[in-house]
Structures are given as structure tokens and as C-alpha cells.
Amino acid sequence: MIVAVGNVKGGVGKTTLAVNLAVALAAQKRDVLLIDGDEQQTAMAFTDLRAANGDAGPGYTAVSLQGAAIRTQVRQLTPKYADIIIDVGGRDTGSLRAALTIADIVLIPVQPRSFDLWGVDQTAELVREAREINDKLRAITVLNGADPQGRDNEEAAAVLREHQSLEHAPTWIVRRKAFPNAAAAGLSVLEYDDPKAIDEFNRLMTFAFVYPNDIGKVANGNR
């Protein structure tokens, strides 16, 4: 499975989702490659921290690739890995376009804010263009950094459901301290003691993938 995590809007939590996906899939004893396609190299920084803090290493392989190299290298590397996660930066870049042409799934994290919602239209157009080459591409919007309560989440979800070319994940990732706190320690949220965050992420994984049904069972310290 090749999964891109991208949106033309920055600051929506793409890297957080990408690294958590990589750790979660690796916990299923799958060979996982994480590609950092963002110039800021945040996914690589997280991987370095995870490797330094754990005795067994990060649990997955990570490389940095940009632009068209994502397409060419992924085609060569696909037979070697069960899953490839591609984290691409928050702009309309060659890296994002290349990832969309080879991905099975693109997860599009969106925060419940007007500017973020407006950016989905542009991302949806890139998905439409990519499907002219990659007709198997499944595009899923994910309400990420959702408010703990209030009407903004449901109003934002209603807007996202209007995009007929995009699926909308039925579970929301709420803005919780568990995500930055876990990342600061080089951990996935699934390795952090926050049952609500674990449940939300597990629900997203169950919706997006058919095989990781036990992903929420990853416990703190099982590295």
C-alpha cells in the first residue's frame, strides 16, 4: 500500500499523521518505508529522535526524496516494502503531484477552519488531475486538529462531505496534547497513554485500511 499524506494548505498536521501511520503499520510487523517529501524534513527529524531514544531503532526505514524522484524511486522500491508512507509539504509542489500519481490512497488532513476548508478545493483539483494517470487513487479527507467540542467540527465535516470526488473519514482526530507530547519523545500516539487519542487514530486506520484491525493495541513501551 502506498499512502500519501498531503494538502496544499500547510499547518494541518500532515507530518503528525504520516509518522504515526508509519509507526502503526510497522507495529503490525510490516516492512514500512517513510518518505519525507517536505523541505522542512520534520519526518526525518522525528525518525532521528525515535532512533536515538529507542534501543530497537525507529522500526521503519526513512528516506528524504523531492519532486519527480518520489515517483521514480517509489516505483523501484515498492517490491521491497509492504507499505510506503509519503509525507509531502503544504503547497502545490512537484513532490505532491508526483506522490498523487503513484499512491493508492491520499489522506488529506483538514482543520475545521475557513482557510483550511478553502484549500481543499485546490487539493481536490490536483486529485482530479492525478486520476487521469492514476485512476485507482482513493482520496480521503480527515478532520484533523478538531475542536474538543462545539459546532465547528460538524459544520466543517458537512462542507467536506460536499466534495463528491473525495471520501470523508467518519472519525475525527481531536486536537489533544497527546500528539505533540508523544512526538517530542519520538513516540507514536499509540505508544502514549491517552485512550481517546488511541481510539480516534485506530478508527481512522480501520476506515482507511483493511488489515490493521489491531493497531490500537500497540501499548506504551512496546518498542
Domain boundaries, the chain: 2-211
What are the residues whose beta carbons fall under 8 Å from the beta carbon of 168, sequence distance 6 or more?
140, 141, 143, 157, 160, 161
Tell me the average pLDDT of the chain. 87
Query: How far is Cα 160 from Cα 80, in angstroms, rounded to an integer?
Result: 35
Is residue 63 exposed (0-12), middle (13-18) or buried (19+ Cβ within 10 Å)? middle
What are the residues whose beta carbons fall under 8 Å from the beta carbon of 108, sequence distance 6 or more?
6, 7, 120, 123, 139, 140, 141, 142, 166
Query: How far is Cα 69 from Cα 77, in angstroms, rounded to an integer?
Result: 12
C-alpha cell, 53: 531514544
The pLDDT tens digits of the residues spanning 164-216 come to 889 999 889 999 999 999 999 999 999 998 999 999 999 999 898 864 444 44
Q: Does residue 221 surpass a pLDDT of 70?
A: no
The pLDDT tens digits of the residues spanning 80-105 come to 999 999 999 767 788 999 999 999 99
The pLDDT tens digits of the residues spanning 131-164 come to 999 999 999 999 998 888 878 888 888 888 988 8
Is residue 52 exposed (0-12), middle (13-18) or buried (19+ Cβ within 10 Å)? exposed
Q: In the CATH scheme, what is the code of domain 2-211?
A: 3.40.50.300
Nearest alpha-carbon partner for 59 in 85, 41, 33: 33
